[in-house]
Structure 1
Amino acid sequence: MDFRLDQDQRDLVRGVRELLAGRFGREALRAAVDGGGGRDGGGDGRLDRGLWKELGEAGFFALRLPEERGGVGLGLPEAVLVFEEAGRALVPGPLVATHVAAGSVRGAAEGAVVVTEVSPEGLVPWLEAADVVLGSAEGAVSVRSVDPLTPLHRVPGTGEWAPETVLLTAAEQVGTAAWCTDAAVAYATRREQFGQVIGGFQAVKHLCAGMLVRTELARAAVHGAAVTADPVEIAGAKLLADEAAVANARDCLQVHGGMGFTWEADVHLHLKRAWVRAALVLPGERAAEEVAAAL
């Protein structure tokens, strides 16, 4: 069995990466952070509807809908590739919920409607920006979010996560893990200390190598779970992806040294988003319980 990406899948990844780089590159990311809550955290609930519409027109939300229903006609394996790129770019908004609802909520597939979902853990992201809320948000109370681009509300939590929601969130975590690896390596090859680039020091090499291993392990688990769609494999993939995203962001901060801890660096944004994703969708304790119960 060959799990390597075929040419169409590689073209899909390249196309999505170019789209996001052009529409939500670093300048747009920093503008969203500085204009949407900044250092106080949590954002102010504003969502870029223009970006949302462009994503819809590009087929981001309708990716898995059949062509006869106006979709792209692709599957879960292609969806995880797309959401990894969204995670790498730190695109804000309830992307997964809108994508999953594209077949049942009118306007979601086209990006004309923003859909969010009530977490079984009792959290709702982007409640005030959403046009449709899946689940009851009655009595929702705004809470401070560590991520400046993920406003949160708390409500009583009930129900279970759909496996596809868990898997696509794991794919976003892989995107953060990969971005952090690339950022650490790039910085290590240009930052000089004691007359040589820091990437030449063994300790820094070990950090970067560990980041690469975590990223590839999590990516393989996510890709494999996308092929099987097995709920237990998806829970295991989420565990690995959460670990890769959080640990890689921490190690990326370490490689960057004192500069990495400043507000102006982007590393902390990936760490904070990784924390929120890990807590919002199938937290590690519940994912571990699902895997353990299956074993």
Structure 2
Amino acid sequence: MRFRLTDDQRALRDGVRQLLARRFDAEALRAAVRGPVRLDRALWRALGDAGFFALRLPEADGGVGLGLPEAVLVFEEAGRALLPGPLAATHLAAGAVPGAAEGETVVTAVDGGLAEWLAEADVVRGDTAGAVPLRSLDPLTPLHRVPGAAAAPDPVAVLLTAAEQLGTAVRVCELAAQHARAREQFGRPIGAFQAVAHLCAGMLVRAETARVAVYAAAVTADPADIAAARLLADEAAVRGARDCLQVHGGMGFTWESEVHLHLKRAWVRTQRAGGITESEDVLAADLVAGTP
């Protein structure tokens, strides 16, 4: 299969990146981490105005009328920027929950026994009886534990999570390469040392492998392809962020750096949409079914 972005898809990706650079840049990210954990409603409405949530809603219903490949590109950019909030839940609610498509209504959902941004949400999909707040690893993803049986994850939610993980994998690869070129030891950029170069090369390989899998799954929408993409994207995000921390050394653990925030968000995302185990089970079942 060949997958090449069209001019319109590139324009969409670049437009979202520019929007986030204006509305949620590195300084805004640091300010959000330092301040009380609150959802920026003005930013949420700006996302709605840009069509973020209504992207896959038919034009006849007031949406943009695009498909999963475009949604994946948009969510990749959100992951790259560490955009906070129940993005996937609100996106999936567009057309079903009034105001969700426009960014006027914040929607969250019970997902695998957890609910993100429960206190900030206007609408919650799923039963939250007995919900208990948890101390989240990620300072920009407040969590509640919700008792009860977990429902089967929506494959689209799985794919959008994979896209966000891909965004983190790509971003930490960029950060590691930038630091490796700029930081010097013994009169040479640290990227000239083999150990650092190997870390950066491994991050790039995992990120690009995950990119191929995520983009292909967006085209086929096959549950097994989505499960495989999720596994590869989770690995690329978590291992990439950990290796990026190694490249940065102690600097990566400081609040002035975004590296540790990517690692923490990547860890939290691995618990979404059934988690890694659910995707492993889907992929294993598909492999067994195809065995003669």
Same fold (TM over 0.5): yes
**2:250 alignment counterpart:** 258
Q: CA deviation at 1:282?
A: 2.5
1:115-164 CA-to-partner distances (Å, cap 9, x unmatched) read 00101x21000001001101001111111100000000011242111000
Instruction: Provide the rounded CA distance (Å) in 2 between the counterparts of 1:166 and 1:2.
Output: 23
Q: Is the aligned partner of 1:163 residue 2:160?
A: no
Equivalent residue runs for 1:108-119 within 5 Å = 108-119=100-111
Q: How does 1:8-19 map to 2 (within 5 A)?
A: 8-19=8-19
Query: Is 1:142 the counterpart of 2:133 in the alignment?
Result: yes
Tell me, what secondary structure is at the counterpart of 2:124?
strand
TM-score calculated relative to the size of structure 2: 0.96
SS at match of 1:47: coil
Aligned equivalent of 2:260: 268
**DSSP 3-state at the match of 1:16:** helix
Counterpart residue number, 2:180: 188
CA contact (8 A) 2:161 2:272 kept: no
DSSP-derived class of the 2:133 partner: strand
**What per-residue deviation string (whole Å, max 9, x for no partner) do you get for residues 163-213 of structure 1?**
000000100000000000000000001100000101111111111111001
Per the alignment, residue 115 of structure 2 pairs with: 124
Contact persistence 2:154–2:273 (CA under 8 A): no
Amino acid at match of 1:265: S
Q: CA deviation at 1:263?
A: 2.4
Question: Aligned partner of 1:138: which letter?
Answer: A
Shift of 1:264: 2.0
Aligned to 1:40: none
Q: Which residue of structure 2 lines up, in the alignment, with residue 236 of structure 1?
A: 228
**Which residue is 2:199 aligned to?**
207
- The aligned amino acid for 1:196 is R
CA distance in 1, matches of 2:176, 2:150: 39
> Which secondary structure state, in structure 1, belongs to the residue aligned with residue 246 of structure 2?
helix
Q: Give the aligned partner of residue 5 of structure 1.
A: 5
Distance 1:55 1:122 in 2: 27
Q: Provide the residue aligned with 1:217 in structure 2.
A: 209
Distance 1:258 1:28 in 2: 23
Q: Which residue of 1 aligns with 2:81?
A: 89
Measure the CA separation in 2 of the matches of 1:158 and 1:196: 52
What secondary structure is seen at the aligned counterpart in 1 of 2:103? coil
- Work out whether residues 116 and 144 of structure 2, in 8 Å CA contact, stay in contact via their aligned partners in 1: yes
Structure 1-normalised TM-score? 0.95
Q: CA shift at 1:280, angstroms?
A: 2.3
- Partner residue of 1:178? 170
2:143 paired with 1:152:
yes
User: 5+ residue gaps in structure 2?
Assistant: 288-292
| Distance across 1 between alignment mates of 2:235 and 2:65 | 32
Q: Distance in 1 between matches of 2:63 and 2:2?
A: 27
Distance (Å, rounded) in 2 between the aligned partners of 1:282 and 1:179: 25
Q: In the alignment, what sits opposite 1:30?
A: 30
Find the aligned partners of 1:84 and 1:214 in 2 and give their Cα distance: 15
Whole-Å separation in 2 of the counterparts to 1:280 and 1:79: 18
Does the 8 Å CA contact 2:107/2:125 hold for their aligned counterparts? yes
* Length, aligned pairs only: 286
